[in-house]
Amino acid sequence: MKVSTYRSEITPTKEFLPCYLSGHAIRTELSNGIINPLWATALVLDIDGTKLVWVSVELIGLDKVYTDGIRNQIQDKYGVDINLINIDFVHTHSAPEYRKVNYFGGPGEVPGYMDFVKKQILKAVDTCFEQHFIEVEAYYDTVTIDGCYCNRNGMEKPCDKTVTTVEFKNEEKIVAGLCNFTCHSTVLGPHNLKVSSDLAGYVARACEKQWGVYPVIAIGAAGDMSNRHYRQGNDLNELNRVGNEMMSQVFYENRTVKKLNITKPKVNLYRYHEVYQPELENKQKQYDEIKFKVENAKTYDEKKTFTSALAMAKKGLACNPFDLDLQCTYVDLGDLRYFVIPAELFSRFGISIKKAMNCKCPILWGYCNYTVGYLGNIEDYGASFETASSDIPKGTTERITEEIIQFIKKSN
């Protein structure tokens, strides 16, 4: 197996500043600075002549038409199977808006910024192919993090605190890496007006410090995961505190990594497609219930999150059809298997899907290529802000997850 990696900077330059930051409906001010650079990081694997392209982009999200265009361009230029091309996003809530109109209906991207990002993504991929591929072997480690983050809807609820690192080593030198963890990059709150990759960027920089190379970041089933219940602030000090504690556990003393037997990829595709037609009476009820929660919020966190839900519920009053088109990819690389699901899946479902993979190193890869939004659990449906304004019927996630688990078991 051979690999090549390269990163291109996507920090907004002067022509794209100031900009609106994406992720919080309650935040309406323009940005006023930069905390850290943003990157598009590409990693290309060559496994017995079959290429895989993984790209990690430090933004909150990407549209399907946008990523499909880039993936098709990479496929046409390099002959890579489009199902082996991942363009993920780390879901930081402190990066520039990427839509022409933002998720909540307000101002969107600075014109030209996403064209610039596309150029930089392609530059990173092109450079990987142009430079020398290095022969490597893969090693991994998985740890469970304590005291940093959990299910944000209740500490007692199911959550995935595992962090998996994959190192691609040429003898003793690490030449590329991947880090998979399951948490929202929302340590910096709505009061933050500076560009940042938040927790995902902190993790990437900590890996770079250990490895000497900047990794691809793959966020897992983090739909209901954050540092909310451990939070001691919403600023840079808190980001440094949480990030340092988390990464001190990832790179623990006397850390050992285990070798992975990587084989030629086997690709299996899963799709769930359904169109829902919302009814005005139900959408009005949703809106009224969320408005009541905003007006009676007991904490700032509660007001912040339900303000975002209210903005979505207001848009929902138009009762436009909701097209749930979930196009997933299951890739078997031997000891390493990964499942790509373009959604903000709740963590309990990610745990079940990883278990079904039945391998040494299972990776649930959410926030990849695009997202259909939150896929939440039946018990909390409507009570948490993630599903408060949803058009997806109660119980749908359970049905989809069971289908996925059976699909994976048949594919293994």
14: how many CB neighbours lie within 10 A of its CB? 6
H and E: helices and strands count for the chain = 9, 20
Q: What is the pLDDT of residues 258-281, one digit of tens each?
A: 999 999 999 999 999 999 999 999
The residue extents of the domains of the chain are 2-262, 278-320
pLDDT at 211: 98
What tokens does 149 get? 């983050």
What tokens does 286 get? 């949703």
The answer, yes or no, to whether residue 410 has pLDDT greater than 90, is yes
pLDDT at 234: 93
CA angle (93 as vertex; 87, 99 as ends), nearest 5: 60
Per the CB < 8 A criterion, the answer to whether 374 and 387 are in contact is yes
Q: How far apart are CA 11 and CA 160, in angstroms?
A: 30
Backbone angles phi, psi at 129, to 5 degrees: -75, -30
* Confidence bin at 301 (pLDDT 50/70/90): confident
pLDDT at 102: 87
Phi-psi sector, 22: left (phi>0), alpha (psi -120 to 50), beta: beta
Q: How far apart are CA 143 and CA 262, in angstroms?
A: 21
Backbone angles phi, psi at 124, to 5 degrees: -65, -45
The answer, yes or no, to whether residue 62 has pLDDT greater than 90, is yes
Could you tell me which residues are beta bridge partners of residue 330? Answer: 268, 339
Q: What is the mean pLDDT of residues 117-121?
A: 98
The answer, yes or no, to whether residue 115 has pLDDT greater than 90, is yes
The answer, yes or no, to whether residue 6 has pLDDT greater than 90, is yes
Q: Are strands 262-276 and 322-334 parallel, antiparallel or unpaired?
A: antiparallel
pLDDT at 104: 83
Percent of the chain scored above 70 by pLDDT? 100
What tokens does 402 get? 């069971």
pLDDT, greater one: 103 or 409? 409
Q: What is the mean pLDDT of residues 76-87?
A: 98
Nearest to 93 by CA among 57, 55, 59, 56: 59
For helices 300-316 and 280-295, give the axis angle rounded to 10 degrees: 160
